[in-house]
A and B are shown apart, each in its own frame.
Chain A
Amino acid sequence: MKKLVLALPSKGRLEELSREAFAKAGMQVKRDGGARSYAGSLQGFENVNVQFLPAGEIARGLIRGTIDIGVTGEDLIHEAVENGIKKVELAAKLGFGKANVVIAIPDAWVDVVYIRDLADVASDFREKHGRWLKIATKYIQLTRAFLAEHGIAQYKIVQSVGATEAAPSSGAADLIVDITSTGSTLKANGLRIIDDGVILKSEANLIISKASKLSNEQQVDLGKIISAVRASL
C-alpha cells in the first residue's frame, strides 16, 4: 500500500522546530539514519513515510501532489509557481519561522515613505534614466501581484538567486523585494522597508496538498495528524 508522505524541513532550526511541534502534538518523528538520511518515520503511524527535504522542495512537492502533507513557509508556496497557494490548504500556522516578504529601498531615498511614493518614482524613472526601475527579487510572483494591486507597472524584475540585499550597492537593481525576519541584514546594507511595504507575513505552516489523491486509510491518518497538531497549538 502506498504510504502517506509527510515532508519536514531537512536542516537547521526549521527541522528542530518542526520535530518539536510534532512531539508537542504527541507524535515523535524519528530520523532513523541520522542527519544525513532523508527518510524517517512517525511514531504510531505505520503507514506514514516521513521525508526530510529542503523547504523549497517541500513547497513544490505539495503543489505537484508528490507530497501529501508537509511543513514549510507560506512564502515558498507563493514563490514556487503562480497561483501555487490555490493548490494547497494551509492547515495550521505553527508559530515559528516567522518572516516577512517586504519591499526595501535605499535608506537614502528620503522622499520615499509609502508605496504611493514608489509609484511616483516608478512613473518618473524611465524619463529620467532611459530604463525601467529595476527590482531584484526571488519573489517574482508575489512582487508582480502586489505592485499590480497598487497600480505600478513601470518597472522590471531582475531575478536574484542569492544575496538580494546587495543588489542596490552592486548596481544590479534600484531596490529589492526580499524576506526578512529581523530587518538587520537590510539595515546593514543601507536599505529600509517601505512603511506599507509588507507584501506577505509568512511563517511555517502545516500544509496539505490538494493535488494528491488519498485512499480512505490515508485520509484517516491525515485527519489524525492535523487534529493532533491543531490541538497542541
Chain B
Amino acid sequence: MARKATSEMNEVNDRVARLSELISAQGAVLSNPAMLLPANPFFDLAGEEFGRRLLLTNGANDEDYCLRPDFTLPIAMDFLRDGGDEQGRAFSYLGSIFRQRAQGPVEFTQAGIEFLGQKNRDETLENTLNFALKALEIYDIKPDILLGSVEVFESLLKVIDIPQVWLPRIRHRFGQPKAMNRLLDRLGKPQAPIADLKAQNREALITKITDQMMADGLSLTGSRSPEEIANRYFEKQQLAATPVSAKTLEILRAYLAIKGDASDSLHEIEALAKEYNLDIFAPLKRLTKHIEFLKAQNQVSSIKFDASFSPRLDYYTGIVFQMIFNSKTIASGGEYNRLLERLGAKKQMNATGCAIWIDRAEEAKK
C-alpha cells in the first residue's frame, strides 16, 4: 500500500515537473504574484458575482484583502505597472488559487499562460490553444473543445436593426441564456406604458424629477441624473409604442440557438448571414481558421461550437474556449482585449490566455 502511494506521488510530481518544463518552454516569464492581494480590483473588474467567491480578510487600515482568486488580474496589473511593454510580453504561472464554494473554501492548483499586448492575435490564440493541449497531453487527456465567439455576436449586434440603447443590455446578457431569453421576450411584446406622469415633454419631466430629488435630499450628480432618468422614461414609452421588430428578434434567437459540431455550426451561421444579409463574415472567417487549426491537432477528441457560450465577464472579446473531459472543464480561456483598458491602459491592448485546472486534470488521470 505504502509503496503504491509513493509511486503515485512520484507520478504526480513527475507530471508537475513536465508541466513546469512546458511552462518555461513558452518563452514566457514565470510569474508569481502575491498570495494576498487587495480585493477591490477584483470587485471593480468582475462585480459582485465573482466577488462572492473571494476569501476576504481585513487590514487594520480597513482595506479588504483576498487570497489570490486567479492569476490573470494580478499578472495584468503588474504588466501595466511596469509600463505595459508595447511589444507585448508573455507570462506563465503555476500555483494555488482560492475560491469560496457552497461547501466552504477550497484551494485549487492552476497553471496557465497570459499573452499581454501581443500584436498578432491569430498567432497568439494558436499558441494559447497549443499550450493548453500540450499541458493536457501530460495528463493523457484528449479533450472535447467547446468554442464560443464574442466577436461574431458583437458584430451581429452592429448589423441588426435595433435601437442603440438596447445593445449594451443585450451584450451584458450574452453568456446568460435565461436572462437573455427574458430580455428578448420583453423586447418583442408591446408593453403597457408606465404611469403617465403628465409631463409630455422632456424639459418638464426633468424639472419634475429634479424637484423631487432635491426634496428627498438626493445629489443630482452623484448617481443617476434627472436627465438620465427622463431619457429612459421616454425610451420606455417609445418601446411600449413600437417594440423591436419581429425580424430582429428572429435573427437573434436563431443565432443564439446554433450549437453542435463546429463545422456544422459554421455552415448554419453562414446560411443565417446570407438569408438576412448580415455582414458578419470577417469574424466568421477568423473563427473558421481556428476551427481548422484545432481539427489539425490530433490530441483533440471533438470540436463543438455554441453561439450562446461566453464567460460572463464583459472584458472578453474574440474567441473563447473550454476544454472538457468527462463533462468537467479542465482548461478555459480565450481573448480578452478589453481587460487591460479596464485596468487603466491608455489604449486598447490585446490579451489572450488560458488557465488549466490541475486538480481536475489529476482527477481525470485516475
Contact = CB atoms under 8 A, between A and B. Distances in A.
Query: Is B truly associated with A?
Result: yes
Interface of A: 82-83, 106-111, 113, 116-117, 119-121, 123-125, 127-129, 132, 144, 147-148, 150-157, 168-169, 171, 174, 189-190
B85 to A, nearest CB: 27
A111 B233 contact: yes
A109 B48 contact: no
A111 B176 contact: no
15 contacts: A83-B102, A110-B197, A110-B209, A110-B230, A111-B194, A111-B236, A117-B236, A119-B169, A120-B169, A148-B49, A156-B51, A168-B218, A174-B224, A189-B216, A190-B212
A148 B219 CA distance: 29
A123 B172 contact: yes
B233 A171 contact: no
A190 B215 contact: yes
Contact of B49 (A83, A107, A153): A153
Nearest to B46: A153
Contacts of B219: 171
A109 B47 contact: no
Nearest to B232: A111
Contacts of A82: 102
B182 A151 contact: yes
Give the interface size class of chain B.
Answer: 35 or more
Nearest to B216: A190
B213 A106 contact: yes
A156 B43 CA distance: 7
A132 B342 CA distance: 13
Contact of B312 (A83, A132, A153): A153
A20 B3 CA distance: 67
Contacts of A190: 212, 215-218
Given A108-B216, A116-B186, A171-B222, A132 B232 contact: no
B173 interface: yes
B342 to A, nearest CB: 10
B213 A153 contact: no
Contacts of A155: 47-48
Interface in B213-238: 213, 215-219, 222-224, 226, 228-230, 232-233, 235-236
A40 to B, nearest CB: 35
Contacts of B47: 132, 153-156
B52 interface: yes
Contacts of B180: 151
B48 A153 contact: yes
Given A108-B216, A169-B216, A144 B169 contact: no
A116 B182 contact: yes
Interface string B140-182: 0000000000000000000000000100110011001011101
Contacts of A152: 179
A129 to B, nearest CB: 8
A121 B229 CA distance: 9
Contacts of B172: 123, 153-154
B203 interface: no
Closest 10 CB pairs of A and B: A151-B179, A190-B216, A111-B233, A169-B217, A111-B232, A108-B212, A123-B169, A123-B172, A108-B213, A174-B223
Nearest to B177: A151
